[in-house]
Amino acid sequence: MAIAERVKVVEVGPRDGLQNEKQFVPTEVKIELINRLSAAGFQNVEAASFVSPKWVPQMADGADVMAAIERRPGTIYSVLTPNLKGFEGALAAGADEVVIFGAASEAFSQRNINCSIAESIERFAPVAQAAKDAGLRLRASISCSLGCPYEGEIAPAAVADVVKRMLALGCHEIDIADTIGVGTPRKVTAVMNAVSAVADPAMLSAHFHDTYGMALANILAALEAGIAIVHSSAAGLGGCPYAKGATGNVATEDVLYMLHGMDIDTGIDLDQVISTGQWISDYLQRANASRAGKAIITKRQAA
């Protein structure tokens, strides 16, 4: 299948990236991160999470963040909403898209949200209906689509089954997520072919972590399978609190370097993202996990 000439890159750093930082990141820093990313040209930024502060204290200031960001026309600002209470918060905060999350693994579903896959989908039905009534976009993220820390291999048919259930809820977009980063290109091809048989590939996205250094190769396999939406996180921020040892999301800078090098249009300014990735890494006093970002920062300093 021909690779798309334009790919939508969804920036998940402000939510998925920051949620696992142990020290609370000040609200104004989150706001500046989102504003910098918006200015770089992203069509979609995952900005906040309306979950219980007891479970994810880092995201307790979601309403304040959403109230203060500079909204770029044409950019979708997404928020995570696990239940109706979260949805109501998201609606009040002016979210453009709400995100629900399930798993392709029964064991992971039980460990993560204390219920079966079927029960989790049932729980999301009121949120999906509320989003439809409010005219908001609804996105679903399917964890462990390429492997599970408890079950190991996940059958492509199992992922396709969850996609069908999410479609029945009325989702506009569905993320195929490699939560622990164990996928390899052939597995990605098999899973993307399976899910594309039950859903329009245009509404499917690749959300890959880079635990084993496979994320870019896996993204290429997804592109070759007809996927044209990719998730990434500036400077490779993030991980998974429920998957021991899983490292961060693939770095946005690395994804953009690859896509732009393939003459694929993203509408995003790579240099601005590189500066932003280095800025947030410096602020958090952590190493920048983007190889392309570090290489280009080094060239800038030498110039």
Residues involved in catalysis: 240
* Cβ(36)–Cβ(276) below 8 Å: yes
- Which residue matches tokens 């291999």? 153
Give the list of residues 6+ apart from residue 52 with CB closer than 8 angstroms, or none.
none
d(CA 118, CA 280) in angstroms, rounded, equals: 38
The residue type of 16 is D
C-alpha of 194 from chain center: 21
| Per-position DSSP letters for 240-297, written without gaps between them | -TTSTT--PBPBHHHHHHHHHHTT-B----HHHHHHHHHHHHHHHT-----HHHHHHH
Phi, psi of 260 (to 5 degrees): -65, -35
Phi, psi of 268 (to 5 degrees): -115, 140
For residue 133, give the H/E element and its range: helix 117-134
The sign of the CA dihedral 274, 236, 157, 111 is negative
Give, in degrees to the nearest 5, the angle at Cα 77 between 173 and 199.
5
* Cβ(192)–Cβ(226) below 8 Å: yes
**Beta-ladder partners of 44:** 10, 76
d(CA 128, CA 136) in angstroms, rounded, equals: 9
C-alpha of 299 from chain center: 29
